[in-house]
A and B are shown apart, each in its own frame.
Chain A
Amino acid sequence: MSNHASTYEPKSATAKWWDERLPVPRMMHDQFVDFPTPRNLNYLWTFGGILTFCLVAQLVTGIVLAMHYVPTADDAFNSVDHIRRDVNYGWLLQAMHATGSSMFFLAVYVHIFRGLYYGSYRAPREILWILGVFILLAMMATAFLGYSLPWGQMSFWAVTVITNLFSSLDSVIPGLGTGIVEWLWGGYAVSGATLNRFFSLHYLLPFVIFGLVILHIWALHVAGQNNPTGLNIKTKSDSLPMYPYAVAKDAVALFAFVIVFAWFVLFLPDYLGHADNFIEANPLVTPPHIVPEWYFLPFYAILRAIPDKLGGVIAMFASIAILAFIPWLDRSPVRSTKYRPIYKWFFWLFLFACLALGYLGSKPAEGVYVFWARIFTAYYFAHFLLVMPIVGSIETPTKLPGSITDAVLGKSPGKSGATGGGGVPAGATAAPEDR
């Protein structure tokens, strides 16, 4: 899609001067104004734009909060209090940043499940998808590091528990895990040295995410957007220019999203946090029930479901790593789950399993909760390793529309005169990679 002919015409002498030297306006016009966008995109496709907004919001609020925050064991907790009470509009900026992380994950999970449902990971979008997995990993690392900064009880013990995951490597090479953990801590326990380096890395990683996002968008503009039918853009009538059509739709969704965001920031700023984090970090007392932020709960449930420490750690990291392989695990001849009568049920079961793991991650690791966490952990992996290849191979997809235009206008192939598009080229629907 990126190779569509440029339609940019510099309108002034200055524009022309720039165009001959650094054609950024031409690139912006070709990629974000005149870019061919499938005409059938639904609201689930607006989350890419929403996520860009989230990243920028987190960067801007984070940079200004860093002007007031003190990353030392003695002052960190009080400096957050100081931001919330004394700094001008600190109450707003702190709430935006803390709530913003939850909003960011909410949006990214919708974005990921949209990709899973419509097969956006399938060829030729494998690298686009894998870049997304890396972005998710970087987001999780950033959120974890950021959660340590308020230096409350939950901050302190979340850092303790998660960094201790690496000590499980002691069972591979004695001393390796302990060495890594003490290296991460900069001491023999979580301390001010740990907090200081976590602050440094928390400031760094968002810029890494920013770079990955640029590559992600680049890859998107090479392959072009997927759409609810999973069909490729074949004729001019299948697409619309990004501006104003897709941009306007993105804007509507973004405003709706910002209303939810603002509701939390203004009315429920601490709802998504944990009460224990209003107690300053105390290395001598563990809170009775350590839980991560909601967006980590499914992974926490997987970690605790495995009775072996190293095994739990491996399963938790594998639950994310496995996403990178699904472009090759899914054997279906079509992209979109819309046309997959059997897989459709497994998709909803998978979503249910993820939500169930989230619920179980918030519960104590005992009794029936452990039993169900094991069942759903097993399904989580079975979905990718068994369901995707097997169902993909045996299932007969329902009849696909001839083109995106047909899907929108309900016409049979070749009768699309009113839409200004040509017919579907013979055989275009036959190639599996185009479906």
Chain B
Amino acid sequence: MANLWQFAPLKFSTRLHAFLRNLGLKAAVLLATGNMACGTLLFDDDPLEGGRSMTADVEDPNRRDILVVAASAFSAVGAASLIWPFVHQMNPDAGAQALASAEFDLAPVQVGQAITVMWRGKPVFIRHRTAEEIEAAKKVPVEDLPDPLSRNDNEPGTPATDANRTLEGHENWLVMVGICTHLGCIPKGQTLADSKGDFGGWFCPCHGSHYDTAGRIRKGPAPRNLDIPPYTFLSDTKIRIG
């Protein structure tokens, strides 16, 4: 049988299969016994070796193979693992991560006004909503919304009702990351002169996304409601974001 293998032209898949099988056997023997030479007998039907290993024991060519395979495998894994530092260096650094939380005083913000604060380098919209705005947001059935999820980091996975877009007891305050979920522009609607879109909330001028008074996408290309960051009220007028 071994001789047949030796003379038949081997297909690539056959060679690959034999190589992998060989590799696995050698590794198993090495691990089990710590002795490379005793692997010899296992390989005597090796299609690539053609049974030559039967006659060799101490000067076994397989012994050299395993050194090559082990060294190559270690180098390959080592080289591959070195890629990670080069990739990971581009992720947000310790300095950027350290800006994770910030506190703001909302006492000066009157009903109907809005302020924009910076958190993690992003603008955060804080609107002191009027009763009409809250009423308008509450009236919309959730099933009519393009994005039915609240996108609220404080209540992940909940439906996009107005109550789930705010914190309980603080429904008059709407706190959202002021970045359009389409391509990251800053929507208009924070100042009195701004266009607030068709739903009285915010309007992104870049590609025409309209958000309602709960910051939910109603019309336009944006896929998600405006994100709500994790935040807590420290007192009635003091807020910590992050």
Chain A interface residues toward B at CB < 8 A: 157, 160-165, 167-168, 171, 182-189, 191, 193, 197, 283-286, 288-290, 304, 307-309, 312, 364-366
Cβ A284 vs Cβ B223 within 8 A: no
List residues of chain B with CB within 8 A of the CB of A189. Answer: 120-122, 179
Interchain nearest-CB distance for A209 vs B (Å): 22
B208 in contact (CB, < 8 A):
yes
Q: Which residue of B has the minimal Cβ distance to A365? A: B207
Given contacts A186-B90, A186-B91, A191-B96, A284 and B185 within 8 Å (CB-CB): no
Given contacts A161-B206, A188-B120, A189-B121, A286 and B90 within 8 Å (CB-CB): no
B159 in contact (CB, < 8 A):
no
Most buried by B among A160, A163, A184: A160
A160-B185, A161-B184 are known contacts; what are 18 more A-B pairs with Cβ within 8 Å?
A: A161-B185, A163-B184, A185-B92, A186-B92, A186-B96, A187-B96, A187-B120, A189-B121, A193-B96, A197-B90, A283-B122, A283-B123, A283-B186, A284-B116, A284-B118, A288-B205, A304-B207, A365-B207
Complex CA distance for A191 and B223, rounded to whole angstroms: 24
CB-defined A-B contacts under 8 Å, sample of 6: A186-B92, A188-B120, A193-B93, A286-B185, A286-B186, A304-B207
Complex CA distance for A342 and B179, rounded to whole angstroms: 49
Cβ A290 vs Cβ B121 within 8 A: no
Given contacts A188-B92, A289-B205, A284 and B183 within 8 Å (CB-CB): no
Interchain nearest-CB distance for B159 vs A (Å): 17
Cβ B93 vs Cβ A157 within 8 A: no
Cβ B205 vs Cβ A161 within 8 A: no
List residues of chain B with CB within 8 A of the CB of A197. Answer: 90
Q: Which residue of A has the minimal Cβ distance to B206? A: A290
Cβ B206 vs Cβ A183 within 8 A: no
Interface footprint category on B:
20 to 34
Interchain nearest-CB distance for B98 vs A (Å): 11
Q: Which residue of B has the minimal Cβ distance to A184? A: B90
List residues of chain A with CB within 8 A of the CB of B116. Answer: 284
Which B residues from 158 to 184 make CB contacts under 8 A with A? Answer: 179, 182-184
Cβ B120 vs Cβ A286 within 8 A: no
B221 in contact (CB, < 8 A):
yes
List residues of chain A with CB within 8 A of the CB of B120. Answer: 187-189
Q: Which residue of A has the minimal Cβ distance to B205? A: A288
List residues of chain A with CB within 8 A of the CB of B92. Answer: 182, 185-188, 193
Complex CA distance for A290 and B204, rounded to whole angstroms: 11
Complex CA distance for A285 and B178, rounded to whole angstroms: 11
List residues of chain B with CB within 8 A of the CB of A164. Answer: 182-184
Cβ A309 vs Cβ B223 within 8 A: yes
List residues of chain B with CB within 8 A of the CB of A161. Answer: 183-185, 206
Complex CA distance for A193 and B90, rounded to whole angstroms: 9
Q: Which residue of B has the minimal Cβ distance to A312? A: B221
Cβ B205 vs Cβ A365 within 8 A: no
List residues of chain B with CB within 8 A of the CB of A167. Answer: 184
Partner of B185, one of A290, A307, A309: A290
Complex CA distance for A157 and B183, rounded to whole angstroms: 10
Q: Which residue of A has the minimal Cβ distance to B122? A: A189
Complex CA distance for A141 and B91, rounded to whole angstroms: 20
Complex CA distance for A325 and B211, rounded to whole angstroms: 41
Which B residues from 186 to 237 make CB contacts under 8 A with A? Answer: 186-187, 204-208, 221-223
Cβ B208 vs Cβ A366 within 8 A: yes
Chain B window 98-118, contacts with chain A (Cβ cutoff 8 Å), 1 for yes, 0 for no: 000000000000000000101
Cβ A307 vs Cβ B122 within 8 A: no
Interchain nearest-CB distance for A310 vs B (Å): 8
Cβ B185 vs Cβ A157 within 8 A: yes
Q: Which residue of B has the minimal Cβ distance to A163? A: B184
Q: Which residue of B has the minimal Cβ distance to A309? A: B223
Cβ B186 vs Cβ A307 within 8 A: no
Given contacts A186-B90, A284-B116, A307-B221, A165 and B183 within 8 Å (CB-CB): yes
Given contacts A286-B185, A309-B221, A183 and B121 within 8 Å (CB-CB): no
Cβ B91 vs Cβ A183 within 8 A: yes
Q: 6 tightest A-B contacts by CB? A: A189-B121, A164-B184, A188-B120, A286-B185, A161-B183, A187-B96
Complex CA distance for A163 and B90, rounded to whole angstroms: 14
Cβ A188 vs Cβ B91 within 8 A: no
Complex CA distance for A167 and B182, rounded to whole angstroms: 9
Cβ A191 vs Cβ B121 within 8 A: yes
